[in-house]
Structures are given as structure tokens and as C-alpha cells.
């Protein structure tokens, strides 16, 4: 299996989208600061993932979720998560969704 995942930075409120073959290992690498793009954005929470059989499908999905349309999909799919206090403020400031 291959995974597309989304992390939420509790430090800056931003989301990080990636894909991997081993989700548990990759998330541990993010948490330990071993991934350059998220090293200074910790702590991180894994808020969403999807599983795909083929790597190409996971990478394509990653690309979609990084687009404006993909961000709208995530916003709608994770409404209850994004309605929480700090995350709601992030939405208001960064995305102007409120």
C-alpha cells in the first residue's frame, strides 16, 4: 500500500501534504525532526490519510490535495476537526474561510 497523508503543524497552523509507502515510519520521521520541510514546524498531528494500491495513484492524489480544489475537499471532509478553536483561527487567518 501507498499512502497520501496530511499533517497539521501545531506551531504555525499550516498543513503539510505528502505521500509514502510506510506511513508509520514517515510520521515518526516527521515527529523526530528528520524531514527537512517539517523540522521546524513541530509538533505535528496526523489528521488525514488515504491508502492506494499503486504509488502513482498516491502521488497523483498528493498533487490534487495540494491544489486549491484539494484543500477545499479536505476542508469539507474534516469539518469537525477544523471547527475546533485554534484550527478555526488558522482557517480565518490563512484561508479566509470563516
Residue matched to cell numbers 505528502: 18
> Per the structure, how many domains does the chain have?
1
Contacts for 1 with CB less than 8 Å, ≥ 6 apart: 21, 51, 52, 53
For residue 81, give its domain range: 2-95
| Domain containing residue 73: CATH number | 3.40.1440
DSSP strands (E only) in 40-94: 44-52
> Tens digit of pLDDT for each residue in 24-45?
999 999 999 999 999 999 999 9
Least-confidence region, from 20-24, 55-59, 77-81: 77-81
Whether the pLDDT of residue 13 is over 90: the answer is no
Q: State if pTM tops 0.95.
A: no
pLDDT at site 87: 55
Q: How confident is the model at residue 85 (pLDDT cuts 50, 70, 90)?
A: low
Amino acid at each position: 500500500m501507498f499512502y497520501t497523508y496530511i499533517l497539521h503543524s501545531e506551531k504555525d497552523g499550516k498543513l503539510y501534504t505528502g505521500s509514502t509507502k510506510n506511513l508509520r515510519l514517515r510520521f515518526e520521521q516527521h515527529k523526530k525532526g528528520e524531514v527537512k520541510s517539517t523540522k521546524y514546524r513541530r509538533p505535528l498531528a496526523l489528521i488525514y490519510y488515504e491508502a492506494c494500491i499503486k504509488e502513482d495513484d498516491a502521488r497523483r492524489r498528493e498533487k490534487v490535495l495540494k491544489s486549491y480544489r484539494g484543500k477545499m475537499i479536505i476542508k469539507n471532509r474534516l469539518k469537525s476537526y477544523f471547527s475546533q478553536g485554534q484550527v478555526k483561527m488558522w482557517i480565518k487567518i490563512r484561508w479566509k474561510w470563516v
